[in-house]
Amino acid sequence: MSAALLYIEDDQEIGSFVSTHLKEQGYEVNWVTSGERALEAAAGCRLVILDVMLPGLDGFTVGQRLKKAEPDIPILMLSARTSIDDKLQGLQFADDYLTKPFHPDELTARIEVLLRRSGNRSSAEPLAIKHLLVYEQQNRVENGETGEEITLTGKQFHIFSYLLRHLGQILTKEQIYEAVWGEPYIEGDKTLQVHIRYLREKLERDPAAPEIVETVRGIGYRVRK
């Protein structure tokens, strides 16, 4: 699947390698070497990969301006600085953060996650998870084996789609609760567990041995492909 990526990197060697690597993965890559040009090139792209250390305008400034101009385009920061203070500053506007030296496979994995999370995949192609087909655009979940539609309540769908947006990632009960209910998690609240139990009853083949919404003991929940 092709998607236009804007890649901002001043180092020639790294830039040419990464853009070649991403093109091999099937992405359309627009590589620019300065922040000024990045701001012009941002329109119409699906994701921005931004290096922090740039000549002229630094990466933070570019990132902040990009986020202001195009708030829907996810930004992945690449940094060769110490993580200690860059991380906080970067994550104020960036959607993800990767420190150099990074593994090229890791970069592709992060890009995929970001693209899926931003919902920029315009295709109506359903997401297949085990026996389920999820049409995110239409808020519809289907049992792929029987073709039956599974009706979820608002909260159940909300929880499920939050887990889907962070596919493969483990989310703690606090993170899920705060994202779905939009208020701070109250200690000892069992609401989320109850909702997850009902969600499993609807989604899982065997709710007693869940395959879709995994429990990661002691940490939280996860949905994997």
Partner 1 sequence: MRKAGTREGGIRFRQTLLSRYLLIILFAFMFIPVIFPLTSIGYMVMQKNANPQSDYLKYGNAASLEAMWHKEASLLSEAQPERIDGRLRELKQAYPEASVFWVDASGATRLQMPEQDRLPAQWTQADAIRFMKASVGGDPYTVVAFIGQASGAETGFMVMQMPRSVIEIQNPIGVDTPYYIAFIFVMFVFFIALSLLFFRHIRRRLLRLQAAMAVHGDDGLPMPVVQTKPDEIGQLEQSFNRMVEQLKAGKERERAEEELRKRLIANLSHDLRTPLTVMNSHVYSLRKEALSEAGQAAVKQIEQKIAGTGSLIDNLLSYTLMTSGRYPLKLERQDMLRLIRESAADWYPLWEQEGIEADIGLPDESVYWRIDKEGFRRVLDNLFQNVVRHAKGGRYIGISVEAHGDRQILSVCDRGAGMNADSGGKGAGIGLAIVGYLLSEMGLAWHTESADSGTKVLIYPK
User: Which positions lie near partner 1, rule CB under 8 A?
Assistant: 11, 13-14, 17-18, 21, 53, 80-88, 99-104, 168-172, 174-175, 187-188, 216-220
CB of 93 vs partner 1, minimal distance in Å? 18
Q: Please, which residue, 18 or 150, has the CB nearer to partner 1?
A: 18
Nearest approach in angstroms of CB 129 to partner 1 is 17
Nearer to partner 1 by Cβ, of 105 and 125: the residue is: 105
Q: How far apart are the first and last CA of the chain?
A: 18
Q: How far is the CB of 81 from partner 1 (least distance, A)?
A: 4
Nearer to partner 1, 5 or 42 (CB): 5
Angstrom distance (rounded) from CA 76 to CA 79 = 10
The SS3 assignment for 149 reads strand
Residue 71 CB contacts under 8 Å (≥ 6 apart), including other chains: none
Residues contacting 199, CB < 8 A, separation 6+: 152, 156, 159, 160, 213
Q: Is 7 helix (H, G, I), strand (E, B) or coil?
A: strand
Considering the complex, state which of residue 73 and residue 111 has its C-beta at the smaller distance from partner 1.
Answer: 111
Q: Minimum CB separation from partner 1 for residue 21, in Å? A: 7
118 vs 175, which CB is nearer to partner 1? Answer: 175
Query: From the CB of residue 146, how many other CB atoms can be counted at a distance below 10 Å?
Result: 9
Minimum CB separation of residue 14 from partner 1 in Å reads 5
Distance CA 18, CA 105 (A): 11
